[in-house]
Amino acid sequence: MSTRFISNLLLALAGGLVLVVTQAFAPPVVAWIAFGVTGVGVLLLMAATTLAPGRGHLQRTLDAVAGALAAWTIVFSGTVMVWLTFGAAATMVPIAAAGLIVHELSTERVVHSLEDVRTHDRPMEALA
């Protein structure tokens, strides 16, 4: 598995967890969980994966947006923080999904190009 897939999957899980937490717990609990998951976890994940080779320009842009959203959740407190965290988590899930789609499309493109090269290099009799 690639770091792109793992980081996007972890981002989707973190976003989904924080999304549920914002609606299930009181603001002080949400603040600490949001700080732990989005504040520390997502920022460290994005910082570590940004330095990883082979991520691509689009994936690095998605990482930067997710990192900015994670940093945004640390700034406020109270009810404002709950709704900003909800919005950030609700945005992180589609960002992670977009990253997973981009990863899958690039993998799928490689597989199809390999299949294409194999079938066009041989005569039709060899394929039968």
DSSP letters for 9-73: HHHHHHHHHHHHHHHHS-HHHHHHHHIIIIIIIIHHHHHHHHTSTT--HHHHHHHHHHHHHHHHH
| In the predicted structure, residue 24 carries a pLDDT above the cut 80 | yes
- Per residue in 27-69, pLDDT (tens digit) is 999 888 888 887 777 777 767 766 777 677 777 777 778 877 7
Q: Is the pTM of this model over 0.75?
A: no
